[in-house]
Amino acid sequence: MSKFKKKTGTSQDIPTSALPDIIFMLLFFFMVTTVLRETDLLVEQKIPAATQLQKLEKKSLVSYLYIGKPKNAALYGTEPRIQANDAIISVDDIFRWVTEEKDKLSEIERDQITISLKVDQEVKMGPITDVQMELREANARKVLYASIKKVDL
Amino acid sequence: MAKGKNRMSAEVNAGSMADIAFLLLIFFLVTTTIASDKGITMLLPPKPDENTPPPEVDKNARNIFKVQINSADQLLVEDEPLEDVEEISVMAKEFILNFGRPDEANQALFNSLPASLRAQALRADNSSDHPGEAVVSFKTDRGTSYELYLQVLDEIKKAYFEIYGERVGLSADEYRALSTRNPGERELIDRGKENIPMNISIAEPSKAGGN
């Protein structure tokens, strides 16, 4: 009765030749979505957490101000400083900085500029108030206090 | 002519390709920080005009919900000391929805609210007249820590978002996730906050204990 002999010749291997393609696909996904940090942080940044976060709809309208204790205390001291783009600036320079940032936008979008304040949680309200006064002066009234999602324990 | 050894396989060994790709993949996985532009939004008041004197505040004290923080990070809410920051959102919500003396338009607003929100109206005499009139005033000191400032602002926003969300049958989280780009969601957003403005007034901080 060996007419229906069992075929034992099946290969036990899983074909893995498509594996590199799959991995490459994932790789390209991550390469494309990765944004390398464009500015070097000169101030300490430990962003406080909050719950009522809102997402910004249009990223091109956002400019960032970093406020915190300088990492290089020998150069900039220990008091909280403001960093815009790649340099430490003083409060008086904010007006000019906002004007420059506004110039980068098209005319209709100029009034919608949003300043994202990335403030270290150790900072006191004093410097922040000074910054906000300057922003009001420069007519950049939309402000975002950057924060991360609070995790409920 | 002697034939060369062309019996050898002409394929490139691609077995290690996956390993190389994995290595790169792990590198990018580790270095990626998905940029998040999230935070608490605020609209600063317009810059003061020198020619016009600051407007007289003729609001009744009952229409102002006062939150103050001193330079030692101690809270004063409605002139009473408060320990727990998280109570602020409950108190603020009660204050906004009080409907003490609504005029005709706001009585209509009250009637349009869902029953769950209407039930929260305490109609107390010493609290806000109606949501349009209610203002949450928030005053800090120059020495107040930013962390606490943000926590309190977070609580005040929470009170408003809970009201907005409840009005359209969503939770506060779902309401905040709505996008203005989607017309259907945009309509929900507008319906949620219609006639209940988010009146948060941030007073200029006092000078004590700061730098």
pLDDT greater at residue A116 or residue B120? A116
Instruction: Tell me the per-residue pLDDT of B111-136, one tens digit each, with 9 for 90 and over.
Output: 888 888 888 887 877 788 888 888 88
Query: Which among B35, B43, B161 has the least Cβ separation from residue A35?
Result: B35
Q: Under an 8 A CB cutoff, do A145 and B33 touch?
A: no
Phi-psi region of A85 (alpha: psi -120 to 50; beta: other; left: phi over 0): left
Residues 6+ apart with CB under 8 A from B84: none
pLDDT score of B56: 67
Helix (H) or strand (E) segment spanning residue A114: strand A114-119
- Percentage of chain B modeled with pLDDT above 70: 88
Q: Do A16 and B18 touch (CB under 8 A)?
A: yes
- pLDDT value of position B209: 55
Residue written as token pair 């978002």: B161
- Domain coordinates of chain A in residue numbers? 49-147
Give tens-digit pLDDT for B27-47. Answer: 877 877 666 678 888 888 887
B17-31 and A19-33 helices cross at what angle (nearest 10)? 20
Nearest CA in chain B to A31: B28
Helix, strand, coil % over all residues of chain A, rounded to 5? 35, 20, 40
Shortest Cα–Cα distance, B127 to chain A (Å): 25
- Position B12 pLDDT exceeds 60: yes
Per CB-CB distance under 8 Å, the chain A contacts of B37 are: 55-56, 59, 62, 116, 144, 146
pLDDT of residue A152: 67
Residue B7 — pLDDT band, cuts 50, 70, 90?
A: low
Q: Is B121 left (phi over 0), alpha (psi -120 to 50) or beta?
A: beta
Asked whether residue B91 carries a pLDDT value surpassing 80, the answer given is: yes
Pairwise CA distance, residues B28 & B22, whole Å = 10
Residue B54 has pLDDT above 70, yes or no: no
The token duo for B85 is 């920051």
Poorest-pLDDT segment among A130-139, B2-11, B119-128:
B2-11
* The pLDDT of residue A45 is above 80: yes
A-chain residue closest to B47, CA distance:
A136
Residues of B whose CB is below 8 A from A50: 39-40, 150-151, 153-154
Q: Which CATH architecture describes the domain A49-147?
A: 2-Layer Sandwich (3.30)
Chain B, nearest residue to A144 by Cα? B41
CB-CB contact of A54 with B40 (8 Å): yes
The tens digit of pLDDT for each residue in A67-99 reads 989 888 888 888 888 888 888 888 888 999 999
Hey, what long-range contacts does A102-109 have (CB within 8 A, 24 or more apart)?
A102/A140, A105/A60, A105/A61, A109/A60, A109/A61
Beta bridge partners of A65: A84, A117
Could you give the CA distance from residue A139 to residue A133 in angstroms, rounded to a whole number?
10
Average pLDDT of A105-134? 87
A52 touches chain B (CB under 8 A): yes
Q: Which of A56, A142, A147 sits opposite B150 (nearest CB)?
A: A147
Instruction: Write the pLDDT tens digit of every residue in B143-185.
Output: 888 889 888 898 888 888 888 888 888 888 888 888 878 888 8
Structure tokens at B86: 């998280």
Candidate from B40, B146, B180 with C-beta closest to A57: B180
Is residue B8's pLDDT more than 80? Answer: no
Q: ipTM for the complex?
A: 0.75
Q: Range with the lowest mean pLDDT among A37-51, A60-74, A113-127, A134-148?
A: A37-51
Averaged pLDDT of chain A: 83
Residue A137 — very low, low, confident or very high, per pLDDT cuts 50/70/90? confident
